[in-house]
Amino acid sequence: MTSSQLDKKSQAWSALFSEPMNELVKRYTASVSFDKRLWQADIEGSLAHAEMLAAQGIISGPDHAAIERGLAQVRAEIESGGFEWKLDLEDVHLNIEARLTQLAGDAGKRLHTGRSRNDQVATDVRLWLRGEIDLIAALLVDLQRALVAIAEKNVEVILPGFTHLQVAQPVSFGHHMLAYVEMFSRDAERMQDVRKRVNCLPLGAAALAGTSYPLDRERVARTLAMVDDQGAPCVCQNSLDAVSDRDFAIEFTAAAALAMIHISRLSEELVLWMSQSFGFIDIADSFCTGSSIMPQKKNPDVPELARGKTGRVVGHLMGLITLMKGQPLAYNKDNQEDKEPLFDTVDTLKDTLRIFSELVGGITVKPQAMETAASKGYATATDLADYLVKQGLPFRDAHETVAHAVKAAISHQVDLSELPLTVLQQFHPGIGKDVYDVLSLRGSLNARNVLGGTAPAQVRQQIQRHRIRLGS
C-alpha cells in the first residue's frame, strides 16, 4: 500500500472493501474529533512499542530510528497546530500512523507489527488517565490546604451544627470545614487506588488473542512507567480482558463522582449560608454574579453550578456503566463511547477543584451571625442532660427532664441559659449555679473534648495532623 493510499481510510484497513464508505457512516463512526486529545499518549505508546520491536529484532535499527524521527516530527506538527486531522482517517491512531508513514515510508508501516488499535486505544486511554489522575491528586491537595487554612482561622468561631437542618449542637466552624477535608482526603486515596489499576499495560494483547511476534511486554511496561510500588512492571495478564474491559475508567468516574458529590454538599451549604436568612458568610464578588433585573442581587453562581455539574458527572458514571453492561468479549466498537464521558468527567472535576480552592480562600466568615443562630435553637440542651447524668441521673431520665425544661423555655420565649436558677431547680433539685457554664455555647463546645470532637483543642490537633499529612 502506498502512503497516498493510506489517506483513504477505506483502504487503510483493507483492500477487501470495494465501495467507499457512506458519508454519514463515516461521520458516525469517526472519533478523531474528540480522541485526538489522546495524541501524546498515542505517540508515547508507539515509541515504547517501536523500541521494544527493535530490541527484540522484530524491526531493524534503521526502521526504529526512522519511526522515532517521524514521530518527533508528528509531535512537532501537532504542537504547532500544523497537523492536519482527517475525518477520513477515523481516529487519532490512524491519523498519526498515516502521517508517520508519509514521513518514514515503510518503517512507518512496520510500527503496527504485533499491535492492534484495540490494545493501542486501551493503552492510550490508560496513559492519558494516569496523567490526569496525578493532576487531580494535586488539585485535591490544594483544596484540602485551602480548607485547613480557613479552618485554622475559625477554630473558635461557633456555628450552629444541624441535624435534619434543625439546630442541634454548637460546633466549631473550623471543625465543620475539616469534615470536608476528611471527605476530600478519602477522594484522594480513592484516586491513588484507582491509579494502580489504571497503570497496567494492554499492549501485546493485539486485537484480542495476543500475537505471534516475540514481544517483550514487560519491557514496554517499564518504558511507559507502568510499574507497581516496588517497580515491577504491570502487564494485563489476559489479552481478551486487556482489550475489552473499561472498568478502570468506570472506577475512576465513580471516584470522580464521589468527589463532585462532596463538592456539591459543600456548595449547598455555601449557598444556604450566603442567603439572607442565614447570613453566615459572604463569598468574594469575583466568584458571584448579579441579576439582569434585580439590582440588589449577588448570587452564589459558582457553588450552584458546581452542584449542577455534579449531576453531569454522575450521569457520565451511569453512561459508562451502561456502556459496559452485557458487552461480549472482546473489543466492541461500543467502547469508543467511553471517551467523551471520561474526558468531560476529568475536565469538570479539574475545573471545579481549581475554582473551589480559590473560592474557599475568599470566604468571609460572620461569627456574630453564626453565634446568634446557634443560641436560638436550644443547642445546649444535650449539655444540660449530660450535667444531670453527672449528678447520677440515668441518661434517659435526664433527657426527659431537659425536654420539660426546653418546653418551659419555649413558652417563656427564652433560651435555657436565660431561665433563672430557681426555675431550673424545679426540674431537678441538684441543679446548681455552675449549670450556666454548661449552658453556654462555648462551654458546650469545650466539653466535646473527645478524639474527633468539636472542642477547639481537638480541632487544633486535627489541623496539625492535616498540615503534616499535606506537607504544609
Residues 6+ apart with CB under 8 A from 171: 158, 159, 160, 161, 445, 454
Contact call for residue 98 and ligand ARG (CB under 6 A): no
Neighbours of 437 (CB within 10 A): 15
Least Å from the CB of residue 93 to ligand ARG: 6
Least Å from the CB of residue 336 to ligand ARG: 4
Beta carbons of 415 and 421 less than 8 angstroms apart: no
Choose the binding region for ligand ARG from 1-9, 16-24, 57-65, 329-337 (rule: CB under 6 A). Answer: 329-337
C-alpha 142, offset from chain centre = 13
Report the residue number, 35 or 371, with the smaller CB distance to ligand ARG. Answer: 35
Q: Which residue has cell 508517520? A: 100
Least Å from the CB of residue 95 to ligand ARG: 11
Choose the binding region for ligand ARG from 61-69, 220-228, 290-298, 331-339 (rule: CB under 6 A). Answer: 331-339
The two beta strands, 281-283 and 166-172, are unpaired
Choose the binding region for ligand ARG from 81-89, 163-171, 270-278, 330-338 (rule: CB under 6 A). Answer: 330-338
Report the residue number, 117 or 145, with the smaller CB distance to ligand ARG. Answer: 117
Which of 18, 80, 164, 277 is catalytic? The answer is 164
User: Which parts of 377-416 interact with ligand ARG (CB under 6 A)?
Assistant: none
Cell of 412: 417563656
Residues 6+ apart with CB under 8 A from 383: 438, 439, 443, 444, 447
Q: Which residue has cell 431537659? A: 402
Choose the binding region for ligand ARG from 74-82, 113-121, 156-164, 414-422 (rule: CB under 6 A). Answer: 113-121
DSSP string, 6-54: HTSHHHHH-TT--SPPPHHHHHHH--HHHHGGGHHHHHHHHHHHHHHHH
Choose the binding region for ligand ARG from 60-68, 115-123, 221-229, 361-369 (rule: CB under 6 A). Answer: 115-123
Cell of 106: 515503510
Contact call for residue 46 and ligand ARG (CB under 6 A): no
Which of 4, 291, 404, 412 is catalytic? The answer is 291
Among 335, 348, 357, 462, binds ligand ARG (CB under 6 A): 335
Among 59, 78, 107, 121, binds ligand ARG (CB under 6 A): 121
Hey, which residues does 363 pair with through a beta bridge? 283
Choose the binding region for ligand ARG from 2-10, 183-191, 278-286, 333-341 (rule: CB under 6 A). Answer: 333-341
Count of residues near ligand ARG by CB under 6 A? 10
Report the residue number, 49 or 466, with the smaller CB distance to ligand ARG. Answer: 49
Among 46, 95, 101, 118, binds ligand ARG (CB under 6 A): 118
| Count of residues making up the chain | 472
Report the residue number, 164 or 333, with the smaller CB distance to ligand ARG. Answer: 333
Report the residue number, 245 or 371, with the smaller CB distance to ligand ARG. Answer: 245
Contact call for residue 117 and ligand ARG (CB under 6 A): yes
User: Which parts of 17-36 interact with ligand ARG (CB under 6 A)?
Assistant: 31, 35
Helix or strand run (H / E) with residue 140: helix 117-153
User: Which parts of 336-365 interact with ligand ARG (CB under 6 A)?
Assistant: 336
Report the residue number, 121 or 317, with the smaller CB distance to ligand ARG. Answer: 121
Report the residue number, 307 or 339, with the smaller CB distance to ligand ARG. Answer: 339
* Interatomic CA distance for residues 43 and 240, integer angstroms: 24
Task: Quote the DSSP letter at residue 228.
Answer: -
Task: Quote the DSSP letter at residue 418.
Answer: G
Q: Identify the burial level of 4 via C-beta atoms within 10 angstroms of its C-beta, where 0-12 means exposed, 13-18 middle and 19 or more buried.
A: exposed
Q: Strand, coil or helix: what is 166?
A: strand
Least Å from the CB of residue 333 to ligand ARG: 6
Report the residue number, 121 or 374, with the smaller CB distance to ligand ARG. Answer: 121
Least Å from the CB of residue 265 to ligand ARG: 35
Helix or strand run (H / E) with residue 400: helix 395-411
Evaluate the omega torsion of the peptide bond into residue 98 and state whether it is cis, within 30 degrees of 0.
no
Report the residue number, 236 or 438, with the smaller CB distance to ligand ARG. Answer: 236
Least Å from the CB of residue 334 to ligand ARG: 9
Contact call for residue 91 and ligand ARG (CB under 6 A): yes
Q: Measuring CA to CA, which residue among 176, 152, 158 is closest to residue 369?
A: 158
Choose the binding region for ligand ARG from 117-125, 257-265, 319-327, 420-428 (rule: CB under 6 A). Answer: 117-125
Specify whether 357 is catalytic.
Answer: no
Q: Strand, coil or helix: what is 201?
A: strand
Indicate the Cα dihedral angle 275, 277, 281, 284, nearest 10°: 30
Which amino acid is it at 294? M
Contact call for residue 223 and ligand ARG (CB under 6 A): no
Beta carbons of 372 and 414 less than 8 angstroms apart: no
Specify whether 275 is catalytic.
Answer: no
For the annotated catalytic residues, the residue numbers are 164, 291
Chain residues binding ligand ARG by CB under 6 A are 31, 35, 91, 117-118, 121, 331, 333, 335-336
